[in-house]
Amino acid sequence: MILVDTNVLIALVDRMDKLHGRSVKDLVKLARAELRVTSAVLSECVFALPRADQRGRLSLLLDRLPVMPFVFKDEGVARRSVFAWLDRYGDHTPDYADAELCVAATLTRQARV
C-alpha cells in the first residue's frame, strides 16, 4: 500500500508544477500498487487548489487511478497518535496531514508514503 501525499497529487493535477514530470514517472512505476489517500491530504489539496477546474482535475485523477481512501481502524487511537507525533516532531513544524501519513504508515506497517 502506498499512501499518497499532497505534493504528489498537486503535481499530477498541475502540469506547471516543478514536480509534475517526476510525479508522472513515479506513478507509472506504481501502476499496480494499491494507492490510498487520507482525508487530511485531500483537505490540504483542496485548500492548495483553489480553482474549480483544479479541484475537478483532482477528482477525475482520484477516480481514474483509482486512489482509495485510507481509513484508520480506530480513529480515536489514530487522532491521539497524530497529536503525539506532532508534539514529538514539533521542532520541524510538521502539519496534520504529514503527521497523519506517518502515523498511518507506522500503524499499518504495510504502507509506504
Report which DSSP code applies to 54: H
- Provide the residue ranges of all domains of the chain, joining segments of one domain with +: 2-108
Cα separation of 96 and 101, whole Å?
Answer: 9
Least confident of 28-32, 71-75, 76-80: 28-32
**pTM of the complete model beyond 0.75:** yes
Task: Using a pLDDT cut of 70, give the percent of the chain over it.
Answer: 100
Q: According to the model, what pLDDT value does residue 110 have?
A: 72
Share of the chain above pLDDT 90, in %: 77
User: Which helix (H) or strand (E) element contains residue 67?
Assistant: none
Give dist(CA 54, CA 61) in Å, integer: 10
Closest CA to 98 of 88, 18, 60: 88
pLDDT of amino acid 108: 82
CATH 3.40.50 fits 2-108, yes or no: yes
pLDDT value of position 107: 85
pLDDT of 17-70, one tens digit each? 999 999 999 988 887 889 999 999 999 999 999 999 999 999 999 999 889 999
Residue with cell 475537478: 56
- Taking the C-alpha atoms of residue 109 and residue 32, their distance in angstroms, rounded to an integer, is 19
Would you tell me how many other CB atoms lie within 10 Å of the CB of residue 97?
21
Q: What is the mean pLDDT of the chain?
A: 92
Helix (H) or strand (E) holding 14: none
